[in-house]
Each structure stands twice: as C-alpha cells, then as structure tokens.
Amino acid sequence: MRVEMSWSIMQWILAAMSAGFVGRAQAVCKAVPGSSGWPTPAEWATFNQSVSGALLQPPPPGGVCHPGEPNYNAAECPAVVTAWKTSWTFHEDDPISNAFNNWNNDSCLPYAGYPCSGEGYPVYVVNATTAEQVQAAINFARENNIRLNVKASGHDFLGRSVAPNSLSIWLHYMNGIQLHDSYKPDGDVCECETYGPTITFSAGDNHGAVYAAANTIGMAVPVAGAPTVCYGGYVTGGGHSILGARYGLAADLVVDMTVVTPDGKIVTANACKNQDLFWALRGGGGATFGVILNMTMLLHPDEPTTEVIWGAVDLLPNATNFWDAAIYAFTQYPDVIDQGLAGYGSIFPGNANTSSVFGVLWLGFNLTSAQIAEMLEPIEEYVKQTWPGEFAFSSNITNWSSFYAYWNANPDRSTPIGVDIVVGSRLLGREALSNPSLKEYFMAAGPPGGVNQDMIAGPGVHNKPLGLDSVSPAWRTAYSHTTTGVGWLPLNEAQEQEMLSNLNGYVEALTALAPDAGAYVNEADPFQANYHEVFWGENYPRLLAIKRAIDPDDVFWCRACVGNERWQEVGNELCQV
C-alpha cells in the first residue's frame, strides 16, 4: 500500500514536471532580444523591406545627454533637458518617448549622473503611415511572439504606450482629415443611419489638428486639455471634455471606425457592421482589440463661450471650516452643472506659504455673465452667511466667440510633464456628493495633491442610453471625475512606495464613500485592486468575451487593460501567468 502510494505520487510529480517542461518549451514569455525566438537581423531586414523601410531602431531620447549613447550630443542636451519637462510636443514627436518617466523605469533620463539604457523602451518601431504597414507590424509581432506596443502621442498616464522589448507601431505620421456635410457608414447587418456634419481623421491627427479643421466650418469636437493628445487613446478610454457635458463623451460621438484587428485584417466597425468590436472600441481601452486607423465623429456647432474663474480664499485659516465650506460648495455643483455649466474645480488646503482656496474654472455656452452669476450666487451667499468674514469670493469673467477660441488660447498648463506620476480617480454622482459624511471621507482621503474635480459629465453624458458603448456605466450618473495625483523623484523607490501608498489611501477612502463609483480608465491608478471592475463595471464580462474572440492569442497586451489576465510583466519581460 505504502509502495503504491509512493509510486502514484512519483507519477504525479513526473507528470507535473513534464507539463512544466513542455510549458517552458512553448511560448511562456514573449520573445526578447537574445532569446531563441527573437528574429535574426536578416529577418528584421526582410521585415523592414516589407514595410517599405519604415522600421526604426530609435535610441532612448534622453541618450542625447549621455556620452556613449549613439544619439549623444552635448550641444543639444540643454534643449532636451528643457523640453523634457515643458513640451508635450517633444514627447509626441519622438518615436518612443512617453510623457511620464516611471513607465520607462526611469531608464534614460536626460540628466548627468543618471543611468541610461534603452531597456525601458521598445526595441523596434514601425513609423506607420499606411494601413499595410500596420497590418505587417501586427502580423510580424504575432508570428514571432513579440510584444506589441502602440503609440500615438505617448501621453498616457498609465504608461500603456511604451513597452520594453517590444515592436512598436508609431502612428504620429498617419494623418488625413476630412469634413462631411452628411455621412452614412457602410453597414452589413443593417442599414446605417445617415448622420449630419461629421469629421473623419486618422490615428496620428491630434486634437489641435482635428479641432482646427472642424473650426474652419464653425464646428466643435470633444477635445482634451492639451492639443497634443490624440483620439486613439482618448476615445478608447471614453474621452471627456468641457463639451461633453453638453454633447456626450468622445466615445459616444464616434459613428464609424477603420481598424486592423489582431489577425491582421482591415475591418470597418460601426452600428451596423462588426457591432461588438465597435462597442468595445468605444470605451474598452486602446491597444486591446486592434489598431484604429481612422474614425468618424459627429460635429456640433461651436458656440459663444463664457469663462468664469470663480472661487473663494480662506481669510481666517481654519482647517475645519475650510473643508466644511469647500465640501458644501461641492455638494451644490450638480445643480449648477444641470443648468448648463461645466468646469474644472479644485479644493486646495493651503500650507504655511499658501492660502487655502476652493473654486472652479466654469465654462458656459450661450449663457450671459448675469445668468452664470445667478447660478453661483446661492453658493456664495450660503458660505458668507455660515462663516461670516471668513471667505472672500472672486469671479473673473471672459467672453469668447467660441469654445475653440477659448481652448486655443488656454492649453493645459498645470499637468506636469516628464515626471514620475500616478493618478487616482473616482466618478462621483449625486448620491456620493449628498453623503452627509462627505467631508470626513475627503479628509480621510488626505488627498496628497489636493482634490481635482473635473465636472465634465453633465446632461450630455447622462442622457445617453446605458450600453451605448463600453465606457464605465458610472459615467452616466457622474458629475465629478474626482482625481488626485502623486509624484516622486526618479529612481527614489522609498519615496515612490510612500506616494503610491498615499494614493492608495485616497482611492480607498473614495471607494468607501462610493463603492460602486467607477474610475476613468485614462486617468486612474493602474495598481488599484479590481481595476477591471472599477474601470468597466458590468461591461467587463462582455468586453472580455469580445477580447477573447478577436484576440485569442493575446497579440495585444497592455497594463490594466481588458483581457490582460493571462500575462504579467516580469522585470522587462512579458510572461504568461
């Protein structure tokens, strides 16, 4: 009996070992330079011919400041150091640069005394300008088991457009914009609706270029805070904007897409063709279901825009009263948003050198200054009467001929560039904002960088049917995309851990406030627990099923993305779990 048992245990161990051995012999990790599956130089050369010489092997952009790197140039280094932290365009124009250092593992910063290697970056890049080049890159990555990366602007806060040991598809020069008076997508399972004014643009056309084109006919498109953001990542995440409160998320406004799928085919996706893919691409994340070559979006007339910089400063610093007043104002914002305003707010508890302030940059369309003042007056009156003499309100009003005029003159100047950063967020609706303990939750959250309130989800987002696309259902009741960010010094692991822990505390406190509130996938913490559920809520099972059907071999993989469960990053490699 004992012998028999030992024998069966031995058999079991042998079976397990041989299963492991077979597993290792198969593709356990994606190929990396030096591994047996990595293509030979001759194979890369042949591939380069197949993409008409568009294959690049770019050095890390920070190498300009490091003797010994192929792009070292002492004369150019100071300009790179400046651009690194000031210019979105610098990072967008480079084939592999990403705007936030931590996603490259700080592997090559343009500073003396820091290390520099290309190990945090893609190895090869296809500078794609045609659909055929995108197809060839996807096919080559799939056939050779190579990690695939997709970069448009490189502005992603979750680092999803840079990947070590990868072949990257760089879309920056895939351009082409077309305006249409009316547009009818090509359907097959049904007859597509004919839409009114629309715009078709390509994967490399950034918001500045697309809005400039729409503006030539007096029309508006949803846009991010910075003109360098592209639509691939923006739309696949949802895409919020000031115009969203009026017309919907960017994803809600797309009516047609051309996509290269993981099997290398070019397909059209719209309400009457490849409907599942169309649904998934509008909210289910970038670089997951394929590469979008171009998309067509509804346009709306641009309207006279009023900008109101409104807020209060605490004259008699008292932390309790400050939070009471700031939170009271926050609870009133949904009413203001329902009356037609949208804006970016913040609660900034001061310190020894700066005053405590709360306020909002409000924007309204076709509203007079007097109408806006009337909306905000009840909040001011309540605060003044409840805490007499403690808060001074101010309101600076500017009238713009259109939202384009405002937006063009006011690009995002507050988001830091070229730093190590992670953002945390929650989409808060009326229920959360009317919680009687709201202040306690926020104080418990101890927001490391203050509280940012993006109030960009008004009636235009709420009035869309649930399930129209795959964005988190939390958007349909949200009023505030409430965020904070943490940063740390490059390569300072202790500080990084401390900051990530602070961020985690903030996210957890807001989760306790609103357990079902989702987070906006493009501006959120990829390290939080249950991120699939947090980013996509009840849409996740359908998204996962679509991912498995369209990409059974996981040609596309990215951090915190749909269907990424079967692989994990192990150092700079991507390996099966």
Ligand X SMILES: Cc1cc2nc3c(=O)[nH]c(=O)nc-3n(C[C@H](O)[C@H](O)[C@H](O)COP(=O)(O)OP(=O)(O)OC[C@H]3O[C@@H](n4cnc5c(N)ncnc54)[C@H](O)[C@@H]3O)c2cc1C
**Residue number with CB closer to ligand X (341 or 383):** 341
Asked if 110 and 77 touch (Cβ cutoff 8 Å), the reply is: yes
In terms of C-beta density within 10 A (0-12 exposed, 13-18 middle, 19 or more buried), how is residue 453 classed? buried
Asked if 403 and 364 touch (Cβ cutoff 8 Å), the reply is: no
Put the strands of the sheet holding 305-314 in their side by side order: 391-400, 305-314, 357-365, 341-348, 451-455, 478-488, 420-429
- Give the 3-state secondary structure of 354-393: CCCEEEEEEEEECCCHHHHHHHHHHHHHHHHHHCCCCEEE
**Residue number with CB closer to ligand X (161 or 539):** 161
**Residue number with CB closer to ligand X (391 or 531):** 531
The token duo for 439 is 């202040």
Which residues are at the interface with ligand X (CB under 6 A)?
99, 150-157, 160-161, 171, 203, 224-226, 229-230, 232-234, 236-237, 239-241, 286-287, 291-292, 412, 415, 522-523, 558
Q: How far is the CB of 576 from ligand X (least distance, A)?
A: 21
**Residue number with CB closer to ligand X (312 or 521):** 521
Q: How far is the CB of 7 from ligand X (least distance, A)?
A: 52
**Residue number with CB closer to ligand X (150 or 451):** 150
User: What is the crossing angle of helices 131-143 and 41-50, to 10°?
Assistant: 150
Residue whose token pair is 């010994």: 68
**Residue number with CB closer to ligand X (150 or 313):** 150
Sign of the C-alpha dihedral computed for residues 114, 115, 117 and 119 taken in this order: negative
**Residue number with CB closer to ligand X (278 or 387):** 278
Q: In residues, how long is the chain?
A: 577
Q: How far is the CB of 225 from ligand X (least distance, A)?
A: 4
> Which residue, 402, 419, 418, 421, is CA-closest to 410?
402
Residue whose token pair is 């960010």: 485
Q: How far is the CB of 137 from ligand X (least distance, A)?
A: 12
Q: How far is the CB of 223 from ligand X (least distance, A)?
A: 7
Q: How far is the CB of 269 from ligand X (least distance, A)?
A: 12
Half-sphere exposure of 108 (CA within 13 A, CB side): 28
